[in-house]
Structure 1
Amino acid sequence: MSSSLFRLKRFSFNPSFLLPSPPRRFSHKPDDAVSSFLRMLSKNPPPPIIKFNKILASLAKKKQYSNVISLSQQMEFSEIASDVVNLNTLINCYCHLGRISFAFSVLGKILKRGYHPGSITFTTLIKSLCLNGEIRKALNFHDDVVAKGFQLDPVGYGTLINVLCKVGETKAALKLLRQVEGKPDLLMYSTIIDSLCKDKLVTDAFGLYHEMGVERISPDLFTYNALIGGLCVAGKFKKAVGLFKEMELKNNIKPDVSTFNILVDALCKKGKVKQAKNVLAVMIKQGVAPDLVTYSTLLDGYCLTKDMYKGKYVLNAMGRVGVTPNVDSYNIVINGFCKVKLVDEALALFEEMHHRELIPNTVIYNSLIDGLCKARRISCAVELVDVMHDTGHPADLITNNSLFDGLCKYHLLDKAIALFMKVKDHKIQPNIPTYTVIIDGLCKVGRLKIAQEIFQVLLSEGYNLNVMTYTVMINGYCKEGLLDEAQALLSKMEDNGCIPNAVNFQTIICALFEKNENDKAERLFREMIARDLL
């Protein structure tokens, strides 16, 4: 904004904005506070403004923002002049209701009357702009505030830095940190360090951490957890462990469950579940009780390493140590068993959920349906879709894609097409994986013409086809001996924004050799080498 927000015309200030229509409307059933306020209005002379303000402040604390605005309008209608306290309360209420232009109009009234706005007023307005996504306006307004000789206090700056970081504006928060009058505090530094680590800017985060040392600001547990987490995400686990040790030895800060969970998560994501269990042992030894997050992370680790029976053991052991498994816990293990094709184990856990009165969600149903389809148990998968629907979980695109894949893979193409039409009738828009499975199924049963028609429709309607869709179509052409069409499609891939891969070249080269078209095959092989696809 080029002109200052302090110019009253920028606030669109209208002196009558507080004048109501006479009827009194309240967003909540009037309580004793509202009744007391209305009785006070009827007195002549009215009580001191401080008594009105006290009631308005109590209603604002109860989040009855619309009532505060209505009662303030009643004050204005009764010709009781509002003071700076009342006007600040109004700003707060308008901001909470997202009516920022009205809040700035009230600020205009404060300035016009010669009142001195406090840091809380400015903080409320800037915070509201940030939460409304108007970051640039918020920062410009802050600059106007400072240029006019006003200054936010540390609480104000801390609040704004926190809001900026929450909405992903870490650079703006860092810039604001440099404008703090005096020395920034621990909370400001830690908030930005945490945000930088989440943005994977760990080096910058450590720059601030070392700056804290120069400023003699001691980090706290939140600071260390942010940095340890940042190092783990960046793959610097040894440094994370070093910082973990420094935290306790240098600053006498005991790790909490979040600290340990960060380390357990980092190890499990690398498949190092044995080391993760060692961290768990240290955790228990230090008197820190593992929580649901700890055990869920371990379950994820066992699924990653396909060691599902150990995962099941952990799931069963959780209750014995006072941590009750939830739907997500079961989802992890059920999904893991399905991925290693132990569908009966997954179904047994599904039944166990019912005995524990845990309601399976769509994700669990989808895992089981996909597992059943891959195990050629299509009829069981279809039955489970019916159960899913009866329990209030309508099949989504993921559910149907699993069914399409199973039906097409086992040459039940007519059923797949019938399901496809049913999905379309239910206004579920098929995606590229859906069409790819259908095209692949059609090609495999020799219905290439229909597959080609679908493929061309997708191209003409502007779908961004991926390499898998092109691959199944090229396979289809080669299977039918249409090698010129396969090569033409390979040439068109890049024009359509899709880079061919090694499989595309290999499929056509093998088909050319089989038809003794060796020269064409060798030319394509040389192109494959030139593209560095070997």
Structure 2
Amino acid sequence: MLHMHPSPPIFHFGHILGSLVKMNHYPTAISLSKQLEFKGITPDLVTLSILINCFCHLGHINFSFSVFAKILKMGYKPDAITLTTLIRGLCLCGQLRKALHFHDDLKAQGFQLDHVSYGTLINGLCKSGETKAGIELLKRIEGHSIKPNVVMYNTIIDGLCKNKLVADACNLYSEMLVKKISPNVVTFSSLMYGFCVMDHFKEAIALLNDMKLKNINPNIYTFNILVDALCKEGKIKEAKIVIASMVKSDVELDVITYNTLMDGYCLVNEVKKAKHVFNSMSQIGVVAPNVYSYTIMIDGLCKKKMIDEAINLFKDMQRKNMIPGVVTYNSLIDGLGKSGRIADVWNLVDEMHDRGQPANIITYNSLLDALCKNGYLDRAIALFMKMNSRRIQPDKYTYTILINGLCKGGRLEKAQEVFRYLLIKGHHLNVWTYNVMINGLCKVGLFDEALALQSKMEEKGCIPDAITFEIIISALFEKDENDKAEKLLREMIARGLL
């Protein structure tokens, strides 16, 4: 087409460029646009708008505005689609203030924006946590010829619910009804999520009834939100009632529904029931288990010390050409480590490395814990040193595991050295770390140091729990320091910890 004489009309080139953009071939579209101009073919508003879209998707917002300036210079009047593309580009680049200023400039110059333009701007604000600014913009729209629609309200309601501002979301929902803007399944799904996050399950279930009254059918996403929340709270019976309601409503269960139920069973230690759900997926054949399904089961089996079954599932994944993720490996590594199968742990770490799955802090913590608990203290210290060389930043769990291992391995001074290092570096230690150190001191009869550390933890704003007192009291009774033990026991009662 570029070599034809005369050149075909510009809209033919626009069709090709538009097709390339739909296939996400943005650099190719930009390259061909340049060839158009090189051949002396004058671009029209459509081809220039396509170019703006390409630059926006690639994050080159300055180039987008250069093209916009060219549009104005050539005397074209950009339409709402072009302007919306620029607004979306600014939002995608996180330049929300510029997007708002650009909106104001456009209005001042008499350019016309549409529902999509405002919906895009509100969406950008809400996704960046600027929900209040989104509400303010919604109010400003009402003063213009454009009326707010369900998409705009849905975007803000979703943002409010994700920020746990459910009461505000409900007020906005009521405002929609007053203004006779009909809510849809997206509105209800967002509210469902909000109620579930706040553990307001009665209100969430009531929403399902409200949807029926309004002749709005809940979709799989709506139901999955409720099932997931109930399972996370251990309310498996209630979750199964919701699933039965899904089946009754002819909503087909998807892999997320099955995974959620399996995860719920594992959380309440009913791994056999989770296994039944997993097997039923494979037998029914309608929904195939995915990597996450296997990961849930492997993790659940490992926590119940059913390691061989977990390994069989892991091998089954590999037979089916499923690539285990870091979480899958970490679950199995932790299970093997807790079962004392150190050789298998190292084989799995090597396999992770060979498959290009880099070990993360959770992997190292599991390895460290396994080595410490199985008496490989020198190897644990070497591994800890290796973390720094591999730029893996130890966290509070890493240090606590190491301190615990050193204390139990008879290296109290080294444990104290690590503990002091944490305090000097200003780490905010939790009660678990203090308890581990106090336990180490008590085991060798250093009660005064243990009591001093208990006082120090309170000075640092870490409140001792029942376990803190129980560690010291038990050790004191064992050493016949009954008076000190009874004094601490009275203090424990006074604090309401007994």
Please report the TM-score for the alignment, with normalisation by the length of structure 2. Answer: 0.86
How far the C-alpha of 1:313 sits from its partner, in A, is 0.9
- Which stretch shows the higher mean deviation, 191-200 or 132-141? 191-200
Q: What are the within-5 Å matches in structure 2 for residues 472-491 of structure 1?
A: 472-491=436-455
What is the deviation of 1:309?
Answer: 0.8
Q: Decide which moves more: 289-298 or 181-190.
A: 181-190
Distance in 2, matches of 1:151 and 1:53, equals 23
**Could you tell me which of 286, 297, 313 is aligned with 2:260?**
297
Cross-structure match for 1:177: 138
Q: CA offsets, 1:89-126, max 9 Å, x none?
A: 44333323322223333433444555433222322222
**2:362 corresponds to which residue?**
398
2:2 corresponds to 1:37: yes
Of 50, 56, 64, 1:95 maps to: 56
Query: Which digits, 9 at most, give the CA deviation of each residue in 1:356-385, with x for residues without a partner?
Result: 443433322322222233234444434444
What pairs with 1:252-271 in structure 2 (closer than 5 Å)? 252-271=215-234
Q: Does 1:220 align with 2:184?
A: yes
Alignment check: 8 A CA contact 2:80 2:112 kept: yes
Give the 3 Å change call, closer, same or farther, for CA 412–212 of structure 1 in structure 2: same
Q: Tell me, which stretches of 5 or more residues in structure 2 are unaligned? A: none
Give the alignment partner of residue 199 of structure 2, picking from 231, 235, 239: 235
In structure 1, the residue matched to 2:107 is 146
State the match for 1:105 in structure 2: 66
CA distance in 2, matches of 1:320, 1:156: 48
Q: Which residue of the other structure, out of 189, 202, 209, is the alignment partner of 1:245?
A: 209
- Partner amino acid, structure 2, of 1:348: N
How much has 1:314 moved relative to structure 2?
1.0
Shift of 1:490: 3.1
Supply the distance in 2 between the matched residues of 1:514 and 1:469 (Cα, whole angstroms): 23
Structure 1 residue 315, shift from structure 2 partner: 0.7
Once residues 406 and 427 of structure 1 are traced to their aligned partners in structure 2, the CA distance between those partners, rounded to angstroms, is 21
Shift of 1:461: 4.0
Structure 2 counterparts to residues 181-200 of structure 1, below 5 A? 181=144, 182-200=146-164
Residue 296 of structure 1 aligns to a residue in which SS?
Answer: helix
Residue 259 of structure 1 and its aligned partner are, at CA, apart by 2.6
Separation in 2, partners of 1:187, 1:392: 42
Residues paired across the two proteins, number = 494
> What amino acid is aligned across from residue 155 of structure 1 in structure 2?
V
Distance 1:218 1:386, change over 3 A: same
> For the residues of structure 2 that align with 1:289 and 1:79, how far apart are their CA atoms?
56
Spell out, residue by residue over 1:417-465, the C-alpha distance to the aligned partner (whole angstroms, 9 max, x if none): 3443455555544333222222212212322122222223333344443
Q: CA, structure 1 residues 466+237, in 2 after alignment: closer, same or farther (shift >3 Å)?
A: closer
**In structure 2, what is the Cα distance between the partners aligned to 1:400 and 1:115?**
60
**Cα separation, partners in 2 of 1:410 and 1:92, compared to 1, 3 Å:** closer
- Asked whether the 8 Å contact 2:435–2:467 carries over to 1, the reply is yes
What is the CA-CA distance between 1:300 and the residue it aligns to?
A: 0.9
Letter aligned with residue 191 of structure 1: T
Aligned position for 1:29: none
Larger deviation, residues 424-433 vs 476-485:
424-433
Q: Report if aligned partners of 2:87, 2:117 keep a CA contact under 8 Å in 1.
A: no
Counterparts of 2:55 and 2:439 in 1: how far apart (Å)? 63
**Deviation readout 1:464-496 (Å, 9 max, x if unpaired):** 433322222222222222233333333433555
Q: Larger deviation: 134-143 or 409-418?
A: 409-418
Distance 1:98 1:389, change over 3 A: closer
Q: Distance in 1 between matches of 2:488 and 2:353?
A: 50
| DSSP 3-state at the match of 1:335 | helix
Identity percentage of aligned residues: 58
3-state secondary structure, aligned to 1:310? helix
| Farther off after superposition, 468-477 or 108-117 | 108-117
Mapped contact 2:333–2:363 kept (Cα < 8 A): yes
Comparing 454-463 and 299-308, the one that deviates more: 454-463
TM-score, length basis structure 1: 0.81
Residue 317 of structure 2 corresponds to 353
8 Å contact 1:119–1:151 — kept in the other structure?
A: yes
| Structure 1 alignment gaps of length 5 or more | 1-35
Correspondence for 1:456: 420
Matched residue, 2:88? 127
Task: Describe the shift of the 1:475–1:154 C-alpha distance in structure 2 as closer, same or farther (beyond 3 A).
Answer: same
Bigger Cα displacement from structure 2, 53-62 vs 266-275: 53-62
Q: Distance in 2 between matches of 1:394 and 1:72?
A: 41
TM-aligned CA distance change 1:70 to 1:351, over 3 Å: closer
After superposition, the Cα gap between the structure-2 partners of 1:453 and 1:112, relative to the gap in structure 1 and judged at 3 Å, is: same
Deviation of the 1:271 alpha carbon: 1.6
Task: Look up the SS of the partner of 1:279 in the other structure.
Answer: helix
Query: Residue type matched to 1:242 in 2?
Result: A
